[in-house]
Structure 1
């Protein structure tokens, strides 16, 4: 159980709030007011200084780009980043959205570059498959403020809120593309928040899957920080998937979830033997590790003034540990991608080289230069230097003795320890050095000789590893951010010494983690619901030293804000492994105020319990006519110990079910924050409690279960479908198609599904893609869909309506609906619970289930 008594520095950084670099303090205003002319009433806004002498010197020496390209390189880093977004291929409307971009916005929008020349306003990214990723040459500020672009901006906001597109930096989309994910793969995203890459991985395993079926693979998305797990859950909730598990662990200590030998013979482990899963390993692993984030300077300009070389040095050890843990969890024959949003070779090539050395030939670096040929990239570096406290160091033998507890041989190209060098005479002792790893002149020990100059003139080592197979993306090649990517292939099992990763405690020993962690400048993470981009790389950079690196007390923290505080007794780590008896006893908790939940040995986490109330499950299957061929029983879970007060029932795929069973038999090693697809919700209104089935189908679960339903289904004409979306509630006798109203009145009281029937289609045909959850009341049918989803569906059915000769005029339809409502056609009080329950699909900020 994590963090108590360890890593004080990191917990301090975690609790410190970020300085607001956009706002002057009151004292700054008052001091400045005394210096300006009396006629001036307001201070002028001053942009960030987009330069840093230490940055320029560092990357010129590292030769990230040739000298003749330096000016272009630095100029692009000072320009605003173009807005980029990705069409979610899992959306049923993705073809329509792509067509609208290609045939409407590309032709109607114009843009100008910085020199006033006309350029293409929006365009698909040529290297992303199927024209599903787009880049706009308008900055985010232009999109907000330019009235001409209002329609395009509104389009982006609406589709992003619904979940049809994801705002994501262009280079952030690259790493998942090199994983070569297939529908049968088990995939691990080790540092997943805020979830854009996880969403891509989910789309890949769902590719080419028929409607109503699930892939045999799955994705586990992990993040250490609880709040970022919430954001991750919200981002991926739009995918509506039963093949995702969200976990809350330190990436470098992600559990192996191994089935112990002494339990292999248990009678309860039969299904494990049948599934063949005895240890959780993955076909694909994504290590998008915490980094200093200087590749995001274009959208996080506050990094300019805080950047220093110590930031990269301090993260090297953690990055190696995460990558080695990922390699250990990777199956033989699998592929792992290591990536950062940093340009620093100490965080990139040095980490890759160290991983190759530690793996002892078990891993090889794949040359992927022929993949995505239209993506502009540069080969990895084979030589670099390390800068520490004002010194340029060409090899580890140049490291002064007093810094060898901070710098490690793995930071250098050769990885060789070399011979020790006598310490240069310094003006202050090493105990007086600052622990933040900064490279500021006032914090550096002053050398008495000319060592700094001689070090600078030393020729850097050259690595003998094939680091040119890595790739570095720089801004001026394709007007993007910067990124680094390396692709590994696992040839054989790792050596025993490499597979075990030491606990990273923050102690500054060369054999542990490297240097102390610097306090890295955080960047603003904007809410996904306001239509602004969530900077995935910025989040990694901003919360690295606290949220994703060292031990904290997060293992003992409640995962939801409204949970009770943990008392001292509960805060102690359990010494006994969990048993099934304990889980069974937990179901006897008395009804009433909800108590603190326990998931195995994890305090403050809702348990994961297979829902096996046969009477309720059989009732659901009978009410909705769920086919026996659909794998239903045994796939339902709940997060509440009290089976009499279960509000939500979740559905999991075969692959997730196997992992949950393995996790239970292995002692519940996984700390699960979210799992499964919300399939059913308890209807708590008075009318709902009188229905034959009190569980209604959720909006998220409808697409999966609909092809397997035979009851409680209505096929609607386009006109009546539109009227339901417009007026939310319509009495049986007020439908345009009287046959539809008659069939609705014959359904049982409770949840039903209204499916749009295309012209000439019969109910015996394959179910059409457009369907909505409704409630069959005593006298009417009411929609249980959020307002924003109604708006989207209305737009999708508008075009067919224009050719429908049977549609009444708009005024006539509105008059009919108004008359119906005036006669009491809708009981908003009874349906409030239903509507509120469905709002979480797109509107609410995510909370851990």
Structure 2
């Protein structure tokens, strides 16, 4: 007999804390293993894991207040049970508080010889009693939004208090479910009609030409429209980086960090039968994801290669490509709604290492461009040191590089700042927090 939904969620939260597992990967693994869970249970597990991770520091503050005990003195299983219980009490209106308490206490009886069940009961009941008078506005801002103080202050140093708070507040919200219409198979109107027949409401995106926002999208792998390759799940901001690149039919394109293949397949649509996308990634196990997506979408103009973008370019790659996309490894601050545990693992050392990687990779990407070619440098972060400062480094190191501020679709042009960069924000543009810069290589004289 498998685990219940709440047991599964607590198991995942325990593994995240004890083993350093990533929430999205731990969740995917657990839902695959616990085959007895129906879709409603899976939805609850997902809500508990992501919700608890998003609010973890705020919840830990409540635990310490209610228990007069530091988090470091609470065992890992008890802590996972308390966190999940408090998330249900404070943030999940559809779960009655008494049910959250009782379920948590019963679960604690199965862990660590049941020694902590009285402690769990006492802490959760105290939280329930204080719920009506709880005011998170009395907390320091970093605790209110469950962000490590050093990270909060880091973002604050660039953007000021009001903007920083709005940004981190948006990181606690649910991310929109958007998809990209595969124009090799269908068009947006036909896809909307087909989705409606499958119980999914869809409407046009705000910026990207192939984007649809959706409501009611569940069990995607079972949908005939998905299996037939009519769409791929992708954030609207990710689509914009490809539209900015301006891939045309017949182009030879390099995608330097391609997995899982969302942008690769988008570029392949635009390159057409006479073009080709070379899709590279450093992780061998991720190459299959690119191939699977390409096959499902019916795209056969993609060449998948194992390659480390940090290594010096082979001579045959120098000046070879019409278009280059570098979706660089980054801190991921723009996708905290989707991967909340990112914020708990960032450090000054990590930021520094990422910037050094990005600087090497942007030079390699630019060197792979033909004269007259175009490159887009993009990240899913809002950190200027990983974004504009990396592009400015390239412009200093390569005199033939230029920032291209023109010739963009109107919807993209309107997003561009005076500095020539695009920075998307979840709380403003309702996309993930993407940065984009369009760079050209001068024609040889």
- Indicate the TM-score class for this superposition, using the shorter chain for normalisation: 0.5 to 0.7
Question: 1:364 maps to what in 2?
Answer: 402
| 8 Å CA contact 2:319, 2:370 repeated in 1 | no
Q: 1:36 Cα deviation (Å)?
A: 4.3
Give the 3-state SS of the residue equivalent to 2:353 in structure 1. Answer: helix
Q: 1:243 aligns with which of 301, 307, 327?
A: 301
Question: 1:54 maps to what in 2?
Answer: 150
Q: 1:327 aligns with which of 359, 363, 366?
A: 366
Question: 2:213 maps to what in 1?
Answer: 135
Q: 1:32 Cα deviation (Å)?
A: 11
CA displacement 1:777-804 (0-9 Å, x = unmatched): xxxxxxxxxxxxxxxxxxxxxxxxxxxx
Distance 1:315 1:279, change over 3 A: closer
Q: 1:314 Cα deviation (Å)?
A: 1.3
Q: 2:437 aligns with which of 482, 486, 507?
A: 486
CA displacement 1:434-476 (0-9 Å, x = unmatched): xxxxxxxxxxxxxxxxxxxxxxxxxxxxxxxxxx111111111
Give the 3-state SS of the residue equivalent to 2:375 in structure 1. Answer: strand
Distance 1:187 1:488, change over 3 A: same
Q: 2:176 aligns with which of 77, 82, 95?
A: 82
Question: 2:259 maps to what in 1?
Answer: 193
> What is the alpha-carbon distance in structure 1 between the residues aligned to residue 173 and residue 400 of structure 2?
42
Question: 1:222 maps to what in 2?
Answer: 280
CA displacement 1:221-261 (0-9 Å, x = unmatched): 11111001111111112243442211111113364353xxx
Q: 1:61 Cα deviation (Å)?
A: 0.9
Give the 3-state SS of the residue equivalent to 1:379 in structure 2. Answer: coil
Question: 1:168 maps to what in 2?
Answer: 234
| 8 Å CA contact 2:281, 2:287 repeated in 1 | yes
Question: 2:427 maps to what in 1?
Answer: 476
CA displacement 1:22-50 (0-9 Å, x = unmatched): 59954756569544438959999xxx973
Distance 1:232 1:308, change over 3 A: same
1:698-717 superposed matches below 5 A: none
1:615-634 superposed matches below 5 A: none
Q: 1:75 Cα deviation (Å)?
A: 1.8
Q: Higher helix share goes to which structure?
A: 2
Structure 2, unaligned runs of 5 or more: 1-17, 24-48, 54-74, 80-107, 126-143
User: Given the two structures, how large is their TM-score scaled by the length of structure 1?
Assistant: 0.36
Q: 1:203 aligns with which of 252, 269, 282?
A: 269
Give the 3-state SS of the residue equivalent to 2:411 in structure 1. Answer: coil
| 8 Å CA contact 1:289, 1:340 repeated in 2 | yes
> What is the alpha-carbon distance in structure 1 between the residues aligned to residue 322 and residue 287 of structure 2?
23
Question: 1:292 maps to what in 2?
Answer: 331
> What is the alpha-carbon distance in structure 1 between the residues aligned to residue 286 and residue 330 of structure 2?
16
> What is the alpha-carbon distance in structure 2 between the residues aligned to residue 42 and residue 157 of structure 1?
44
Give the 3-state SS of the residue equivalent to 2:405 in structure 1. Answer: coil
| 8 Å CA contact 1:188, 1:221 repeated in 2 | yes
> What is the alpha-carbon distance in structure 2 between the residues aligned to residue 71 and residue 189 of structure 1?
34
Q: 1:74 Cα deviation (Å)?
A: 2.5
Question: 2:132 maps to what in 1?
Answer: none
User: Given the two structures, how large is their TM-score scaled by the length of structure 2?
Assistant: 0.66
1:358-507 superposed matches below 5 A: 358-359=397-398, 361-368=399-406, 371-373=409-411, 377=415, 379=417, 468-492=419-443
Q: Does 1:350 align with 2:379?
A: no
| 8 Å CA contact 1:58, 1:309 repeated in 2 | no
1:251-290 superposed matches below 5 A: 251-253=309-311, 255-258=313-316, 281-290=320-329
Question: 2:98 maps to what in 1?
Answer: none
> What is the alpha-carbon distance in structure 1 between the residues aligned to residue 405 and residue 157 of structure 2?
26
| 8 Å CA contact 1:313, 1:347 repeated in 2 | no
Q: 1:300 Cα deviation (Å)?
A: 0.8
> What is the alpha-carbon distance in structure 2 between the residues aligned to residue 32 and residue 58 of structure 1?
43
Distance 1:190 1:309, change over 3 A: same
Q: 1:282 Cα deviation (Å)?
A: 0.4
Q: Does 1:37 align with 2:118?
A: yes
Ranges of 4+ aligned residues in structure 1 off by more than 6 Å:
41-44
Structure 1, unaligned runs of 5 or more: 1-15, 110-120, 145-152, 207-213, 259-277, 381-467, 495-849
Q: 1:69 Cα deviation (Å)?
A: 3.6
| 8 Å CA contact 2:240, 2:412 repeated in 1 | no
| Count of residue pairs brought into register by the alignment | 332
Give the 3-state SS of the residue equivalent to 1:54 in structure 2. Answer: helix
Which structure has more relative contact order (CA 8 Å, sep 6+)? It is 1
1:506-585 superposed matches below 5 A: none
Distance 1:319 1:39, change over 3 A: closer
Q: Does 1:124 align with 2:190?
A: no
Question: 1:7 maps to what in 2?
Answer: none
> What is the alpha-carbon distance in structure 2 between the residues aligned to residue 39 and residue 77 of structure 1?
29
> What is the alpha-carbon distance in structure 2 between the residues aligned to residue 55 and residue 81 of structure 1?
21
| 8 Å CA contact 1:84, 1:167 repeated in 2 | yes
Q: 1:297 Cα deviation (Å)?
A: 0.2
Question: 2:33 maps to what in 1?
Answer: none
Task: Tell me which structure has the larger Cα radius of gyration.
Answer: 1
> What is the alpha-carbon distance in structure 1 between the residues aligned to residue 171 and residue 407 of structure 2?
25
> What is the alpha-carbon distance in structure 2 between the residues aligned to residue 362 and residue 39 of structure 1?
64
Question: 1:177 maps to what in 2?
Answer: 243
| 8 Å CA contact 2:282, 2:306 repeated in 1 | yes
Give the 3-state SS of the residue equivalent to 1:228 in structure 2. Answer: helix
CA displacement 1:292-326 (0-9 Å, x = unmatched): 11111011111232233332221111111111111
Aligned Cα RMSD in Å?
3.6
CA displacement 1:30-79 (0-9 Å, x = unmatched): 569544438959999xxx9732222221111112xx54444433221210
Give the 3-state SS of the residue equivalent to 1:315 in structure 2. Answer: helix
1:584-603 superposed matches below 5 A: none
| 8 Å CA contact 1:94, 1:164 repeated in 2 | no
> What is the alpha-carbon distance in structure 2 between the residues aligned to residue 173 and residue 186 of structure 1?
19
